[in-house]
Amino acid sequence: MRFRSLESRIVTLFLLLIVSVQLVGLLVIQRGIDSNARLAINGELGNGGKVFRRMLEQNAQSLRFGARLLARDTAFVAAIGDNDESDRATIESALVNSGRRIKASLTMLISAERRISVSTNGAQSAALEPLVQGLLDKAEQADGANAVAIVERRPYQLVVMPVKAPVTIGWIVMAFPIDRQLANDMREISALHATILTRDAGGRWLAVGSTFVGPSVDGVVRQLDAMAQVPAGAFDLSVEGSRYSGRLLPIGEDGGQGASVLLARSIDEATAEYAQLERWLIGLAFIGIVVSALASVLTAKRIAQPLSALALTARRLEQGDYKGQIDISRDDEIGALAQAFDSMRDGIAKREQEIRRLAYWDTLTNLPNRAQFLLLLNDSIGEAKRREHAVFVLMMDLDRFKHVNDVMGHSFGDALLRQVAGRLQLLLANRRHSSAQVARLGGDEFAVLLPGFTLDDARRVAAEILAALELPLSLEEQVVDIGAGLGIAGYPLHGADGEALLSMAEVAMYSAKQRNDGAVVYDSAFDKSSEQSLSLLSELRRAIEQREFRLHVQPKVMLGSGKVVGVEALVRWQHPERGNVFPDEFIPFAEQTGFIRVLTRWVLDESAALCRQLAAAGVELKFSVNLSTRDLLDQDLPVKFAELLARHQLAPANFCLEITESAIMDDPVRAQQTLERLHAMGVDLSIDDFGTGYSSLAYLKRLPVNELKIDKSFVLNMEKDSGDSKIVRSTIDLGHNMGLRVVAEGIESEAVWRLLAAMGCDQGQGYFMSRPMPGDQLLAWLAQWRAPGAPLVEPAGMLAE
């Protein structure tokens, strides 16, 4: 069982919790036992102090009783009263006998003159005399007195009893030693150890008698000496490695010395009765840990094993195996997780199946898409390699589909594509081309896979397909005529890779559409022009990055006054190797590849920068910029143009955007939508090269344009060709009648200028006024511009209306 596994961590966690709880429980119980034991010991020590004091009191009573008996003995009293030297022996004998009877260590007689008359121990008597002198009056008044005296650092219990006949004729003094015997008596009647101690004036302790033996007593004394102040309550002692709780009980003082008794109770003995309980608890705790460990292992397995099974199922799901059953039947959260996992597996399987269908099948026609067709093609090439057969690919692109889709709507276009797909499938099925496979590659492009076919067979199938597509299609009460351009490429004739064959078939298809030649077989010569196109596209992209393009402008002049009111922005390419590249060499290609959008954005940005620069110099001119078909169909063009104006802080009226008739007619609906949005912004719109397209006047009338530009092909020869002159005049009249400004291109002589002015043409541009010039030369040109028969025109102009 690895520790990093969930099962091991659950077991470890449970065991840690259980062991922790058991240990805490044992510690709490042990602390409780110790606390209870100490409370009990404190109680015993308190009671022991009372018992010891009671023992001292009993001893004092015994001494007083013995002294009282002696003091009332008639012969003893008579002997004292006679005060005869011959009676001294009698008195001394009586004192000795009486003291022996009550186990007194000293007995003496104090005379009426308060001097020691007789004593059984002369040395002790002399030491006790000062204390005894202080007790005589108290004894006489209270018929006896007792006290604790310390002689030679040993404590004694004294009793003083007056002898009266009837007046006081003397005092009997008896001393009882407080020693080991009293400590042993205390030990016998209680479980406490007793140690009789004295303390001298220097604070040093001396053990007089103890129930402890030898070294133990010395250890107790050393611990007491080490204490700066002995606690009034219970305190801990260590005796021969055992723990004791002790309490010091003062029993008397004498001349700066003190006598005390130390009562001690063994903590280990007090808790010994709980030891068996502790052992039982430890045993139960161990059994609980073992049982809990087994239960935790079983619980962990019950939790972890289903999860491991789910993890194994997840790995199978990762490998794409969705068939394995999840055999977990439980009513708890694990069971709910298993059910959710099972539902997730089914959902993933369904979604993956749908994703696979979407990834490899066309949802519109239910035909294989490009990815699936490529897989089928590569499989067919592999099979053809093994059998030494050929494989051919037919790729076709429908003619006029985009126009139909724009005019009739996308739903109509989708229905048309479905009908084409059905017609192709039916054709191949009727011709019994069982191995042929139709696919929709995207848009209006279809492909047919022909495994095991020869080139002649492929051409024949291609001819049949073209013939089938030439038949009109009836859809929603509309009859639609379509055709197709079709390219043919095959293995091993042209290539050995599926992607390469598709590219070759596509190249042949575009060649067929350009030549309007039906079906075309791929030829390697087609790739040369493709390589040139790729090279030119790369150079155009590099030209943008390396700033090889230059902005040129051609002035637009009011023909009536000669005033410069605007310029047309033009792009020129300064190639680092080929020098100046003419626009005719790259503009058509840029329009074909879509790079024209990049160029248009560049021209707009550079024009805006120049316009801002001129405005700062006090020159207000309207900049005309050409838009291509692709620009016009870009629905985001108005937004991008508004961002450009905001960035350069210009008004829409600073620009006039020019579009050709052909650009408009490629997609009339989208073109008009874009133009209306631009017109709403306030920018002028112009129809460029008017008269060369095929748009209807009715459609042009609906366009939100402000200007017509007459194509230069009509202007160049109008001085000599009356037909061109009539066309120009009619166009000018038409434009004015439609409320439009009319501009003529291609003015190359003063005669044409004056002729156009006479016809009422508003503005003009051409080589007569100026060839296109770099933008940074415009200010200098404006300074020297002079209209025919007019004075020098000031550079500062007004914004064209």
- pLDDT tens for 785-797 read 998 865 444 443 4
Q: Is the pTM of this model over 0.85?
A: no
d(CA 160, CA 108): 10
Strand partners, 338: none
Q: Are 607 and 623 in contact (CB under 8 A)?
A: yes
pLDDT at 800: 37
pLDDT at 645 over 60: yes
For 696, phi then psi, to 5°, come to -85, 150
The whole-chain average pLDDT of the chain stands at: 83
Residues 534-562 have pLDDT tens digits of 567 678 888 888 899 999 999 999 999 99
pLDDT at 552: 95
pLDDT at 798: 37
Give mean pLDDT, residues 185-194: 85
pLDDT at 794: 43
Q: Greater confidence, 593 or 755?
A: 755
Q: Are 741 and 735 in contact (CB under 8 A)?
A: yes
Give mean pLDDT, residues 582-588: 82
Q: Are 421 and 497 in contact (CB under 8 A)?
A: no
pLDDT at 733: 93
Q: Are 555 and 785 in contact (CB under 8 A)?
A: yes
Q: Distance between alpha carbon 292 and the CA centroid of its chain, in Å?
A: 38
Q: Which of 279-283, 767-771, 774-778 comes out lowest in average pLDDT?
A: 279-283
CB atoms within 10 A of CB 59: 21
d(CA 426, CA 435): 14
pLDDT at 699: 61
Q: And the tokens for 251? A: 């029993």
pLDDT at 531 over 70: no
Quick one: 44 exposed, middle or buried, by C-beta within 10 A (0-12, 13-18, 19+)? buried
Give mean pLDDT, residues 617-645: 90
Q: Are 57 and 146 in contact (CB under 8 A)?
A: no
| Listed residue (702, 666, 667, 698) closest to 685, CA to CA | 702
Q: Which of 250-259, 298-307, 322-331, 510-519 comes out lowest in average pLDDT?
A: 322-331
Give mean pLDDT, residues 391-414: 82
Q: Are 158 and 135 in contact (CB under 8 A)?
A: yes
* Model confidence band, residue 607 (pLDDT cutoffs 50, 70, 90): very high
| Listed residue (264, 152, 156, 270) closest to 211, CA to CA | 264
Return the percentage of the chain with pLDDT > 70, whole number.
Answer: 90
Q: Greater confidence, 383 or 139?
A: 383
Q: Are 692 and 711 in contact (CB under 8 A)?
A: yes
pLDDT at 503 over 50: yes
pLDDT at 749: 92
CA atoms within 13 A on the CB side of 327: 1
Q: And the tokens for 789? A: 């028969």
* Model confidence band, residue 391 (pLDDT cutoffs 50, 70, 90): very high
Residues 19-31 have pLDDT tens digits of 788 788 778 877 7
pLDDT at 39 over 60: yes
d(CA 148, CA 134): 12
* Model confidence band, residue 799 (pLDDT cutoffs 50, 70, 90): very low
pLDDT at 114 over 90: no
d(CA 746, CA 571): 18
Residues 650-695 have pLDDT tens digits of 999 999 999 887 677 666 777 888 899 999 999 999 988 776 554 5
* Model confidence band, residue 801 (pLDDT cutoffs 50, 70, 90): very low
pLDDT at 532 over 60: no
Residues 71-105 have pLDDT tens digits of 888 778 887 777 676 677 778 888 888 888 877 88
- Identity at 52, one-letter amino acid code: F
Residues 140-184 have pLDDT tens digits of 888 888 888 888 888 988 888 898 888 888 888 888 888 888 888
pLDDT at 115: 86
